[in-house]
Amino acid sequence: MSMIKETAPDFETDAYFDGDIRKVKLSGYSGKWVVLFFYPGDYTFVCPTEIEGFAEDYGKFKEKNCEILSVSTDSAHVHKAWASSDPRIGKVKYPMLADRNGEISRCYSVYNESKGSALRGLFIIDPEGKVRYETITDDSVGRSTEETFRVLCALQSGGLCPVNWHSGQPTIKKS
């Protein structure tokens, strides 16, 4: 069931970022756009490519008043160990959230009960806390940071954006 235009479920959990483990609450980002992405697990194959990609593009998301939050069922301590042992993950400046019991993943309908991990889900949440975009892909397919950024810009434009629309292009006018 789609969550589009629904209030994003709030949560509070441990997260690793800025070299430390601290509590993060989704509602703490009120007034900002949020890209919330779930991934199956640390120390895997496709996941570090996505995490590194969002780390490399983090600055341009920040320029759009957007925070990035990644979530897996690993603990914040495992995130910290991974960041210190893998230079790709060491680039991350955004919070890496722990969802040890799958509670957050279940709230967003991305929990894989049989594997005990999150599916590859991504949500864009607006400054009022409403889900404006959602996608879930097969574990074998990484997401595109470029497409995520394009969709964020389209949502922020306030217009009707046609296929392959990019920032600076005209939007469709209602007649």
Active-site positions read 47
Asked if 27 contacts 10 with a C-beta cutoff of 8 angstroms, the reply is: yes
CA 16, 20, 24, 29 torsion: positive or negative?
negative
CA-to-CA distance for 119 and 59, rounded, in angstroms? 26
CA-to-CA distance for 41 and 47, rounded, in angstroms? 7
Please tell me whether residue 130 adopts helix, strand or coil conformation. Answer: strand
Neighbours of 166 (CB within 10 A): 11
Alpha carbon 110 to its chain centroid, in Å, reads 12
The residue length of the chain stands at 175
